[in-house]
Amino acid sequence: MTTHTFKPSLPPPNMSVGAMGWIRANLFPNWFNSLLTLFALYIVWITIPPILNWAFFSADWIGDNRESCTSGGACWVFIKVRMAQFFYGFYPEELRWRVDLTVLLAIFGAAPLFIKAMPRKLRYGAVFLLAYPVLAYWLLHGGFMGMTLVETSKWGGLMLTLVIAVVGIAGAMPLGILLALGRRSDMPVVRVICVTFIEFWRGVPLITVLFMSSVMLPLFLPEEVNIDKLLRALIAVTLFEAAYVAEVVRGGMQAIPKGQYEAAGAMGLGYWRIMGLVILPQALKLVIPGIVNTFIALFKDTSLVIIIGLFDLFNSIHQATVDPAWLGFATEGYVFAALMFWIFCFGMSRYSMHLERKLDTGHKR
């Protein structure tokens, strides 16, 4: 009997590892890919330097009127001067702290929900979800309990964008869940009503919906009823978004095995308890990424309120670009708008991917 002696591991031949190996494997593995690499390099070369040059190196940052923009690059002065309007719209200057406070409250109020070890998270979450909207309405709109009233027509900019997006998704969630339940109900009439509702909203463009809400809704209501323009847009966005949320939630519910319904039923729980205590908690957790994606879509869609003359972030910027004092800086305006939207959407999509990964592994264990 012999004992086999294993040979020592050798380092790989130098062409396959290290910087050279990496370059060979990732950039020039064969002639076709080498061509592609050169092509890509060319694209990078013709796009990046001019963009960087325009946006940074020969851009103007200092000053407060168009005369400060002389260098031929981007005129960020324009953005700087108008920044407050892009953020707050026409919200009265001396009251803007109220907007800031609302945002801060949202951030610090919601933060504990993301802390793992937080005790009584559920109860806290419920209280927060109930209390915050009232608080936010009081702060932003006012008109009672000692807060001076700020008309919604003065709201604008990023603040309005956030209001529409957040209210839209918050309103769409419960409605969407109900619709999803309805679509999976075994009552044919309820199912037909829900399917019709969902398919209708998913089939028409948001701008026609907004248009309808902004100018036609009063035609459908008795003459004395008068609903705030922003509120009507919010209702439209909520209904529209609810249809999308419903489909996402339905997907999650379909992934819950039948045994869960049966086990809960066998324990004597009724329909609403089965749904509320057993099915929805699991289904909603599964679809968080889907909901975040819906939210991203909604966030981008808020830009359409330009159609009905609300001054959201995009419309504020658009409006500023036709100001005679700053004519000719539309590109800067659009780039800034794009950047703002991008930061929010990209951030959220990363978050959704992170959740997806987290939930994915949680599923496998």
Q: Which parts of 303-322 interact with other proteins (CB under 8 A)?
A: 303-304, 306-309, 314, 318-319, 322
Among 105, 128, 184, 282, binds other proteins (CB under 8 A): 282
- 231 lies in the binding site for other proteins (CB under 8 A): no
Among 233, 275, 337, 352, binds other proteins (CB under 8 A): 337
Say how many C-beta atoms besides its own lie within 10 A of residue 248's C-beta. Answer: 21
Q: Please give the Cα distance from 127 to 134 (Å, whole number).
A: 11
- 289 lies in the binding site for other proteins (CB under 8 A): no
- By beta-carbon proximity to other proteins, the closer residue of 129 and 195 is 195
- Contacts with 144 (C-beta within 8 Å, 6 or more apart), sequence order: 138
- 14 lies in the binding site for other proteins (CB under 8 A): no
- Contact positions with other proteins (CB under 8 A) in 168-207: 186-190, 193, 199-200, 202-207
Q: Please give the Cα distance from 70 to 245 (Å, whole number).
A: 49
The pattern of x and - marking residues 32 through 71 that bind other proteins according to CB under 8 A reads -x--xx--xx-xx---------------------------
- 327 lies in the binding site for other proteins (CB under 8 A): yes
DSSP letters, 169-202, are HHHHHHHHHHHHHHHT-S-HHHHHHHHHHHHHHH
Residue with tokens 């009672």: 144
Secondary element (H or E) of residue 100? helix 96-110
Task: Provide the b/e sequence for 221-235 (b: ≥16 CB within 10 Å).
Answer: eeeeeeeebbebbbb
- 365 lies in the binding site for other proteins (CB under 8 A): yes
Q: Please give the Cα distance from 344 to 84 (Å, whole number).
A: 18
- Contacts with 153 (C-beta within 8 Å, 6 or more apart), sequence order: 90, 229, 230
- For residue 135, the minimal CB distance to other proteins (Å) is 26
The pattern of x and - marking residues 79 through 118 that bind other proteins according to CB under 8 A reads ------x---xx----------------------------
- For residue 186, the minimal CB distance to other proteins (Å) is 8
- By beta-carbon proximity to other proteins, the closer residue of 102 and 302 is 302
